[in-house]
Chains A and B, each alone.
Chain A
């Protein structure tokens, strides 16, 4: 392997990144579908012959990072049969894809008969067939309802498009001209990349170029290994839930359990999701590529946020996700829930890293990708419309700073999340009554979690259907190091003065709206960091004056007394003393896991068994969502069971919970309700 001097390395690296930038510009210029050139829901990347990312630019992490699985699956199937001029097309989630809408073009580039690079483009095609327009169905029970599946195939062979195959694909998608445009834009981008890669080869020679690629990958690997090496070795456990609901009329919550065992050993790291719930016939499953990519996105964002992204960073990392579970879906379960699985894998990673390196990490981020759809026919223009919005929630607080409010999370690249009211009111029969950051929605903590977005949308005329594909409507983003939870996702319908929540929060399919109906939607808040009683009272006062926290919650959670806009120092001190003394603490009994888990339909949840007198004393209800808090790290969530046989003053924990909370049988554990701010479904604030 010949070495490369640092100056040539920098110049070659800039050259490779510039290839990807030009691919991006080409897609942007040539695509015909709104999803691509307005929402910029596409990504480009340059991969080496082994399918490793060697360059990317301002692309969406949730697109690019899973791409190597697609390249690998393609190589496995047709790698021996590739020739110059071939183009592989695929979207199959079961074969290295994400969801069916993400159609991927992979373009092998040869030099002297050797495969050297793969430019690849992943685009969100606005429709790939299936049960509903847009293909993303909140009620899918099988993948066939989510669109047409394309395994890795050579749709272009030695430069010749296979028209027969293309016809079959296009005949199964809505708005076929637009889809043809999507395909052509990806093809144009790959061909541009090939030209530019050849120019680089001519200029610097293939050996120098490949040596530059290797050096960059190796350096990223070394940096990541050095970062992992600084973390304390150990086994870090965490668990979280996806939400499904049982049948009408009760729509009982059936949470799907997702555990993580993160092992740090020297300079390597393993994320093991063994034990994850079985895949379900509902949109809550995703693929190994998505699961692993989400692990990588967190590690990159926590351990090495400064350098450009390439695959070298992920060499020291192993991801285990058993087949047939919600994190490694297999045929024929729906695979459309990449947005929700991603957020939950990220949550699990943040929960584990809160034990290993809380100073580098943050509390949990917005729990959902929050796909809201309102569609119908405008009676004035008689045209069909679909309004799609994905308002961002709050990000997790971290040691130095409050979590940013209403801002895209780490897996969303540079996606815009706040839509223009003026554009929306011009295009659709919708009126935005108000919009803004929801007071008290950020998880309280020494630093506060970011606030959620809350909006009220009124249907002005005609009828419309409202759908929501989200999660985190019951189990909210958690705080760490004693920080409290952010607000859960919410969605309500207002008719006159009545505000009614939906029976299956976060999962709504085709609710009928009539003129004058108002939908109030709220994204998820971010978790808090550290004990809220330790927050600087001056910052709490500033939050109250700015309208981020209400006076009542300032007293209740932060123990800060404010009268007439000023801090009451003496009252604050006594309030904080009282709050600290009034926390429910329990002695620990260690029991086998099967004693603290309860099956609910297809779901399974952890329970906290309480003696009736304890429930009464600390005012816990039955089947209430609570969390156990240990010495540091993350909380462990459970649902209460008031049980006359339970010992007073004691709580049963399994070894898993003890490890997560870093407590033993000799310690105490705190139990508290999961923070839920008073729900005022009104404008975020009123300055009148």
Chain B
């Protein structure tokens, strides 16, 4: 029996397979074909000789929806909205994105104004009907959508979070009249108040749905044809595994599918190390994703965006910064040395890839510094052209009138500064001191930079999990089934209204349990968490307040809210509180692998394995030992300066630091004088 996790990224498709027989986890990496992502999936499966009939769990992570949105390759969409509110989607919040630029423009929306139609029918804030829905108007709109040739229609009515009846009736009429056109409603996608954010999220869902559902259908069909007997699942942005069918309907929940896998994987890795407070740093080719985990739990954000547009479904709070291995170093118009967010991308890629790139990237700088070198024995598919990297860095060094090594070190230092800022933003800026947090580094480039980033922020230790190069795929394997539900409802937080809140939560729980039962989870395999979004009366910002067993009255809930408020805003406040939104997360619990990578060769580095090479650090050149990670047995210690290599990633152990192999296989890096763990 095997479990499979497959993460389709923009450039590479990673697969991780857990084999119950030998208890080992193996991985492989293949290029992604963006037009047909399923090709990479099957190539990766083939690389590890996965026999689909023997697969008992198939978990997927895919950025298909994300790339569709970012590259503007989505559907032709129509929007049906409340009369008088056609411009909600056109105007947005009326803010300016480019602050000091007389020629700033508004980003081009996902829908044209001519494709937004209005219909009469108006609800009040409490959901009661002010004007009935004009069903003939809906019918006329359907005819006009047909003439426009739209692929999907988003139905976006005011106050639909409070009462979805108008939207549901309109959607049903549209579906009747427009067979083959996908219709989604705002109440179904995001039943929360603030019309622009809800409408935009719904429009985004409609925009990516045809491509995502087409892809998921093709993939599921072929997996079934090749013998997969279990239902394949896909990771949601909130860190739970969903059925393909649900995600095909609500693909806007898959925007962080891959990065969420990395955070979930880190939670599992650190649980085994008994670490509960850490920050993840997933550095890939074009960007770095940073997330914070406290007390073993990651935070969900309801403030997400994709490109310039809001995407307000719950998603793991991940801070993305445009600096990765492929980020270009260049002199900007002001003559300043800059790194990213421009990237060499997959083509041509860094100069050292030898595919025609000539501008220096962060990867090229690492090659020049000796941190990254071609390594035939690891079977890497990309060979590195050291001279090309040197030429690229030299060109920039000439313009800066600096030498090659100073320039390369400078590029790495500036990239690290960008990532340091990203870590600060999710910790220091929220009043949390990262000095008590570990840094968990993965992604192709994460372990290369992690030690220096941690030192800069005085974080005590760095964890490099097993399989850092395919870590998101590993995270997919261990994720739980998770479904999130929400319902906007303005209810005063008093004992009189508690019964109402409970009744609504129970109704949501019934829906959740039914949906999980349909997917095969029941009884003890289901865990339910409730929370309320609460704010002080009169304020506009609410905070998610978990409901726990002991909270029997409004005072207890209010006290918990006040404590969360005090932590977030650094001061206590008083006044009456009100509930704005009810939330419920339902988990379907399954087994998790006790992951162990193949360490059959881990007898300790033999004499022949130990090489040294010159690697440049802040203080200048050092003779660093170069080790194969697979050769390091548990409890092995590696004194820096050292380079630990493995397929898909390289870990740098700087001078005066030590790396230790934990029993779980994770590498733990600690600076001299720090206690570690």
Cross-chain contact of A29 among B99, B118, B158, B568 (Cβ < 8 A): B568
A46 to chain B, nearest CB (A): 16
Given A6-B337, A11-B417, A305-B103, do A546 and B94 touch, yes or no (CB 8 Å)?
no
Report if A124 contacts B (CB, 8 A).
Answer: no
Report if B376 contacts A (CB, 8 A).
Answer: no
- Interface pair A6/B91, CB less than 8 Å apart: no
CB-CB under 8 A from A546, the residues of chain B are 112-114
Report if A624 contacts B (CB, 8 A).
Answer: no
Bound Cα distance from A421 to B114, whole angstroms: 22
A496 to chain B, nearest CB (A): 18
Bound Cα distance from A437 to B89, whole angstroms: 11
- Interface pair A7/B94, CB less than 8 Å apart: no
- Interface pair A437/B91, CB less than 8 Å apart: yes
CB-CB under 8 A from B573, the residues of chain A are 32
- Interface pair B540/A34, CB less than 8 Å apart: yes
Bound Cα distance from A188 to B571, whole angstroms: 11
Given A29-B430, A416-B93, do A433 and B84 touch, yes or no (CB 8 Å)?
yes
Chain B 86-142 interface residues, beta-carbon cutoff 8 Å to A: 86-88, 90-106, 112-114, 116-120, 124-125, 137, 140
Bound Cα distance from A684 to B407, whole angstroms: 57
Cross-chain contact of B159 among A18, A415, A422, A686 (Cβ < 8 A): A422
CB-CB under 8 A from B245, the residues of chain A are none
CB-CB under 8 A from B421, the residues of chain A are 14, 18
Proximity string of chain B (455-478) to chain A, C-beta cutoff 8 Å, 1 when within and 0 when not: 000000000000000000000000
Bound Cα distance from A356 to B90, whole angstroms: 34
Bound Cα distance from A165 to B96, whole angstroms: 39
Report if B172 contacts A (CB, 8 A).
Answer: no
Proximity string of chain B (404-432) to chain A, C-beta cutoff 8 Å, 1 when within and 0 when not: 00110110011001100100110011110
CB-CB under 8 A from B540, the residues of chain A are 34, 38, 423
Report if B196 contacts A (CB, 8 A).
Answer: yes
CB-CB under 8 A from A422, the residues of chain B are 125, 158-159, 161, 193-195
Proximity string of chain A (331-352) to chain B, C-beta cutoff 8 Å, 1 when within and 0 when not: 0000000000000000000000
Report if B490 contacts A (CB, 8 A).
Answer: yes
- Interface pair B100/A418, CB less than 8 Å apart: no
Given A7-B413, A14-B421, A301-B100, do A391 and B570 touch, yes or no (CB 8 Å)?
no
CB-CB under 8 A from A220, the residues of chain B are 334
B291 to chain A, nearest CB (A): 18
Given A305-B102, A407-B106, do A683 and B96 touch, yes or no (CB 8 Å)?
no
A683 to chain B, nearest CB (A): 5
Which of the 9-residue segments A133-141, A265-273, A396-404, A594-602 touches chain B?
A: A396-404
- Interface pair B429/A301, CB less than 8 Å apart: no
- Interface pair B98/A305, CB less than 8 Å apart: yes
Proximity string of chain A (295-323) to chain B, C-beta cutoff 8 Å, 1 when within and 0 when not: 00110111001110100000000000000
- Interface pair B84/A219, CB less than 8 Å apart: no
Chain A 663-687 interface residues, beta-carbon cutoff 8 Å to B: 683-687
Report if A274 contacts B (CB, 8 A).
Answer: no
The residue of chain A having its C-beta at the shortest distance from the C-beta of B120 within the complex is: A688
A426 to chain B, nearest CB (A): 4
- Interface pair A409/B96, CB less than 8 Å apart: yes
- Interface pair B102/A10, CB less than 8 Å apart: no
- Interface pair B193/A434, CB less than 8 Å apart: no
Interface-central residue, A22, A297, A302, A421, by most chain B CB under 10 Å: A421
Report if B607 contacts A (CB, 8 A).
Answer: no
- Interface pair A425/B125, CB less than 8 Å apart: yes
Report if A37 contacts B (CB, 8 A).
Answer: yes
- Interface pair B85/A435, CB less than 8 Å apart: yes
Bound Cα distance from A398 to B98, whole angstroms: 15
Given A453-B94, A688-B137, do A436 and B87 touch, yes or no (CB 8 Å)?
yes
CB-CB under 8 A from A6, the residues of chain B are 336-337, 400, 402, 410
Given A18-B421, A22-B429, A416-B95, do A687 and B569 touch, yes or no (CB 8 Å)?
no
Report if B538 contacts A (CB, 8 A).
Answer: yes
Report if B335 contacts A (CB, 8 A).
Answer: yes
Bound Cα distance from A13 to B96, whole angstroms: 24
Bound Cα distance from A412 to B414, whole angstroms: 31
Given A408-B94, A687-B116, A688-B83, do A423 and B194 touch, yes or no (CB 8 Å)?
yes
Report if B338 contacts A (CB, 8 A).
Answer: yes
CB-CB under 8 A from A408, the residues of chain B are 94-96
CB-CB under 8 A from A361, the residues of chain B are 102
Other A-B pairs, 4, CB within 8 Å; known A400-B103, A435-B87: A5-B406, A7-B407, A420-B193, A436-B86
What would be 29 A-B contacts, judged by CB atoms less than 8 Å apart? A6-B337, A7-B414, A10-B414, A11-B417, A29-B431, A29-B569, A30-B570, A61-B99, A181-B571, A219-B335, A300-B100, A307-B332, A362-B103, A404-B104, A407-B96, A409-B96, A410-B99, A410-B102, A414-B97, A418-B92, A420-B195, A420-B196, A422-B125, A426-B125, A435-B87, A436-B87, A546-B113, A688-B118, A688-B119
